[in-house]
A and B are shown apart, each in its own frame.
Chain A
């Protein structure tokens, strides 16, 4: 009886680990902080800074996806990735409102991950 119970506990741990694993484990994988930083710079029209921070956000997101892919829904993950692609377009066009829309939506998907 001990082995089946231990197996089920392990499975439940894997399935519920996403909510904890999406939280930052270091300084380079803090997705919500990166989003907030980009929003601040977009508001101040610091486009050079926005570009650098967006690259950092993408790198942080890739790290997080590697950890959460087994436990969280693919749809939210894909939506977030799409937001990042659209954000890059908005940055190229220096389109402040589109960039803010994408960033806010990305933040919303981040919040919804694992809910």
Chain B
């Protein structure tokens, strides 16, 4: 029995099954995971690793375990989407930990959190002074949402009555020296227009550009392969292998 070969085949089965199930289970980022999602992920990953290397039992039994956990995870996602009461129970709900500038000790106790934990989460949000906080809400994914007191909020153009132009998302016109024709078509532009614009910025050909984007206001961002920067700032703090 060629164990190495068997492990390779079972590894391929485990890897792609996990990939397919993970896609099925949603697109939540690690930072958005609730504690249960996190545990679910670890368990499913652990079953997949057993499927690969535990040759003492059939791959099928591990695979069924993997599919069951993924199916239950998927089912819970559907339930929490459609039934708010269940979502509250399964995913938890946001908890106010600071209200009107006052720390809610009972809420902290209930969630088994120390004040130092809240201070750390506040620092992560660039808040170093408790006096600045009006409301702080601990989200089900463990992140803290902070509402500062009005006098400590950032000044916006609206506060100053300054007129602003609408902004939007830039569109890539050249990526890695290659023109993205589909994006040009969507913006009702053509290659000739792009060539003229590049010439204005001193580029003879699209292949000289690393990336070119166009924002809705009509201005181009161009980055060439040759940056002509003589002194590059090194942010490393000690000498290393690279």
Chain B contact residue count (CB 8 A cutoff): 19
Residue of A nearest to B55 (CB): A74
Interface presence of B1 (CB below 8 A)? yes
Would A8 and B6 count as touching, CB distance under 8 A?
no
Chain A contact residue count (CB 8 A cutoff): 20
Q: Using Cβ atoms and an 8 Å threshold, which residues of chain B touch A70?
A: 6, 9-10, 59
> Which of B12-20, B73-81, B141-149 forms part of the interface with chain A?
B12-20
Q: Using Cβ atoms and an 8 Å threshold, which residues of chain B touch A73?
A: 55-58
Interface presence of A23 (CB below 8 A)? no
Interface presence of B60 (CB below 8 A)? yes
Q: Using Cβ atoms and an 8 Å threshold, which residues of chain B touch A16?
A: 60
Majority DSSP secondary structure for residues of B touching A: helix
Given A15-B63, A65-B1: A71 in contact with B17 (beta carbons within 8 A): no
Majority DSSP secondary structure for residues of A touching B: helix
- Give bound CA distance, A26 to B63, whole Å: 31
A107 to chain B, nearest CB (A): 20
Contact of B20 among A8, A18, A74 (CB under 8 A): A8
Would A15 and B20 count as touching, CB distance under 8 A?
no
Interface presence of A20 (CB below 8 A)? no
Residue of A nearest to B51 (CB): A15
Interface presence of B155 (CB below 8 A)? no
Interface presence of A69 (CB below 8 A)? yes
Residues in chain A within 8 A of chain B (CB atoms): 4, 7-8, 11-12, 14-16, 18, 65, 69-75, 77-78, 114
- A sample of 16 cross-chain residue pairs with beta-carbon separation below 8 angstroms, ordered by A number, consists of A4-B23, A7-B16, A11-B13, A14-B9, A15-B58, A15-B60, A18-B58, A70-B10, A71-B59, A73-B56, A73-B58, A74-B1, A74-B6, A74-B55, A77-B1, A114-B58
